[in-house]
Amino acid sequence: MKSLLAFGVLLFTLTFCGLGDRLKDLGGSSSNSNTGSTKSTGDSASVEKPSLSGSQQSILDAATDVKWDNQGISWKLPAGWPKMDVKKESFNYGSPANGFLIASIAVMPASFPSESSIEATYTQALEQLKQGKYEKVRWLEIDGVKGVEWLEAMPEDKDGARRHQWIAFRNYQGQNQQLNIMISTKGSNFDKQRDTFGAIMYSMKIAKG
- Go through the domains of the chain in sequence order and give each one's CATH number: 2-34+52-206 (3.40.1000.10)
Question: What is the distance between the alpha carbons of residues 77 and 66, in angstroms, rounded to a whole number?
Answer: 7
What pLDDT does residue 45 have?
Answer: 57
Write phi, then psi, for 153 (nearest 5 degrees).
-75, 170
Q: How far is CA 150 from CA 2, 5, 127, 167, 182, in A?
A: 29, 24, 12, 9, 10
DSSP code of 51?
Answer: -
Position 44 confidence tier, pLDDT thresholds 50, 70, 90: low
Nearest-10 Cα torsion for 111, 112, 118, 123: 120
pLDDT digit string, tens, across residues 92-146: 999 999 999 999 999 999 999 999 999 999 999 999 999 999 999 999 999 999 9
Report the percent of the chain where pLDDT is more than 70.
78
**Residues 156, 158, 160, 164, CA torsion sign:** positive
Q: DSSP 3-state assignment of 169?
A: strand
Please give the model's pTM, rounded to 2 decimal places.
Answer: 0.81
Question: What is the distance between the alpha carbons of residues 5 and 89, in angstroms, rounded to a whole number?
Answer: 16
